[in-house]
Amino acid sequence: MKSHRIRVVPSRQPIDRQDQLAWKIAEVASDTAPAEADVEAMVVNRIIDNAGVALAAINREPVANARTQALAHPRPGGATLFGVPSGHLFDAEWVAWANGTAVRELDFHDTYLGADFGHPGDAIPAVLAAAQQCGRSGKDLLRGIATAYEIHIALMKGICLHEHKIDHIAHLCPAMAAGIGALLDLGAEVIYQAVQQTVHVSCTTRQSRKGEISSWKANAPAHAGKLAIEAMDRAMRGEKSPSPIYEGEDSVIAWMLGGPEAVYEVSLPEPGAGRRAILESYTKEHSAEYQGQALIDLAFNLRSRIADLGEVESAVLHTSHHTHTVIGTGSNDPQKMDPAATRETLDHSAMYIFAVALEDGHWHHEESYATERAARPETVSLWHKIRTEEDPEWNRRYHHPEPGRKAFGARGVITMKNGETFEDELAVANAHPLGARPFSRKDYIRKFETLAGEITDAAERERFLRDVQRLPDLKAGELYDLGLGTAPGKLHRAERDGRGIF
């Protein structure tokens, strides 16, 4: 890896293209280093993971609405929509929109937490859609997905968006462009222009994840995928983009991030080096914000020691700044304590997540968020006794430079009305690579079967798993085999409707 120092450069001091972050990203994307075997295996895992969570969400309102928009854009030789038989193809940009929304809706796929945070698996729908429409092979797709993960995770490690209240799709969108450029085997010049356009158009605020969180949380990364495909199409036609997009005196760093004096360090692979960052990311066993994963497992550990949860006086989760301010009481969001809050808000409430996990001892992607479940008086009472506190030691562990020593959990202290206390801590979720039960291929398949089992036929699931596990051998045109249809009568809103413009 090579570290690159990124800073604002005044217009009177032109910066060479080779010294710009967008160009360095483009150089990585245009490098033809093959994916290594363990990286290929993890890419397959994440495609399986995405398919399962997408099918589980296929009939939820935001997903169904995104699909009906895509259905208005059929295209021979296009790309496949989740839930729709693979013989029906649609424009890649609209497939990226619909499939990206499906993947993101339940907040149930992979994550990376660094200086910033995000869901690198959000890149897969856009990269796959472009690969299908452009007739690429399985090897091409592997290279594209691995590249998207590499760039996204490098940006999350080096540049914090959250402290400036910029939504994390500002790192995802250029990563998608890099992945698409890699799978299409494009030169650095074209990728450079597409990356710059994606950064320019994807810098949005974090209000999408603040207060009453709406369905846009699921739409945002899907929109980024649509933007990335459009940016690459434009760049392939020879068009230029705002430059230098990171270092310019009126650009992203100067006015949206750290300002004219800020310096960032972004580490990227050397020429010819493998793209291995995907191995540093981690999926979810439970459908909740990633920092909630360890909290759910921690609650499972504690509940067996507490005879009567009605006797709880208070519960404190000592945790990192990020967990405290994003999903904890440090967010100062009253909606996180509201039984009438949206599902999107509840899965970003550490207090709700911890309370329900304590009571139920299991987690379900729908039942744990049901309106009647959230409104139970005993749940509301327990929920409102829980708070988070920022702890310097958990901050240090959260930001530890060594991946193997990072911690995303908390120390829980439950105090009973009689003064008795129960205490335990969990550094990482059980499914984390360093956790008690790290996810392997069989766990990804089990999760897929659980989530997709009620909406797809067994034969269709078996076919999909067979095809995706031979991804490195898929030839040009065979990527349509990665589509996944629902069983007859199971797909709602399977036709275009007249409610919108399209």
pLDDT tens across 346-400, in order? Answer: 999 999 999 999 999 999 999 999 999 999 999 999 999 999 999 999 999 999 9
pLDDT at 403 over 90: no
Q: Average pLDDT for residues 2-25, to the nearest whole number? A: 96
Which pLDDT score, from 0 to 100, does residue 213 have?
78
Instruction: Give the C-alpha separation, 399 to 95, whole Å.
Output: 36
Q: Average pLDDT for residues 110-115, to the nearest whole number? A: 93
* DSSP letter assigned to residue 332: -
Crossing angle for the helix pair 458-468 and 441-452, to the nearest 10 degrees: 150
Q: For residue 270, give the H/E element and its range.
A: none
pLDDT at 42 over 90: yes
What sign has the CA pseudo-torsion 53, 55, 59, 63? positive
Burial 185-216 (b: 16+ CB within 10 A, else e): ebebebbbbbbbbbbbbbbbeeebbbeebebb
pLDDT in tens, 301-345: 999 999 999 999 999 999 999 999 999 999 999 999 999 999 989
Which pLDDT score, from 0 to 100, does residue 130 have?
98
* DSSP letter assigned to residue 119: -
**Strands (DSSP E) along 269-419, which ranges?**
312-319, 386-390, 410-416
Preceding amide of 244 cis, omega within 30? yes
Q: How many CB atoms lie within 10 A of CB 283?
A: 27
Q: How many CB atoms lie within 10 A of CB 306?
A: 15
pLDDT in tens, 141-174: 999 999 999 999 999 999 999 999 999 999 999 9
Q: Which of 100, 104, 120 is nearest to 112 (CA)?
A: 120
pLDDT at 208 over 90: no
pLDDT at 127 over 90: yes
Beta strand pairing call for 74-80 and 2-7: unpaired
Q: Which residues pair with 248 in a beta bridge?
A: none
Q: Which of 178, 223, 136, 228 is nearest to 24 (CA)?
A: 178
pLDDT at 266 over 90: yes
* Cα angle 57, 58, 64; round to 5: 115
Indicate the SS3 state at residue 103.
helix
C-alpha 197: how far from its chain's center? Answer: 21
In this structure, are residues 326 and 364 in contact, taking their beta carbons and an 8 Å threshold? Answer: no
Instruction: Give the C-alpha separation, 111 to 446, whole Å.
Output: 19
Alpha carbon distances (Å) from 502 to 58, 63, 476 = 20, 16, 31
Instruction: Give the C-alpha separation, 116 to 179, whole Å.
Output: 20
In which region does residue 361 sit, left (phi positive, over 0), alpha (psi from -120 to 50) or beta (all else)? left
Q: How many CB atoms lie within 10 A of CB 104?
A: 26
Crossing angle for the helix pair 37-56 and 441-452, to the nearest 10 degrees: 20
334-335-338-340 Cα dihedral, nearest 10 degrees: 150
Per-residue pLDDT band at 402 (split at 50, 70, 90): confident
Alpha carbon distances (Å) from 195 to 19, 181, 202, 251, 421 = 15, 9, 11, 14, 53
Tokens for 312, please give them: 């709880």
Which pLDDT score, from 0 to 100, does residue 264 have?
98
Q: What are phi and psi of 259, to 5 degrees?
A: 95, 180
Per-residue pLDDT band at 484 (split at 50, 70, 90): very high
Alpha carbon distances (Å) from 352 to 112, 164, 339, 348 = 23, 27, 9, 9
pLDDT at 86 over 90: no
The pTM (predicted TM-score) of the whole model is 0.95
In this structure, are residues 423 and 301 in contact, taking their beta carbons and an 8 Å threshold? Answer: no
Which pLDDT score, from 0 to 100, does residue 214 have?
86
Which pLDDT score, from 0 to 100, does residue 498 have?
85
Instruction: Give the C-alpha separation, 137 to 478, whole Å.
Output: 7
Per-residue pLDDT band at 212 (split at 50, 70, 90): confident
Tokens for 137, please give them: 């092979």
pLDDT at 272 over 90: yes
pLDDT in tens, 56-68: 999 999 999 999 9
Instruction: Give the C-alpha separation, 321 to 342, whole Å.
Output: 24
Instruction: Give the C-alpha separation, 155 to 312, whole Å.
Output: 42
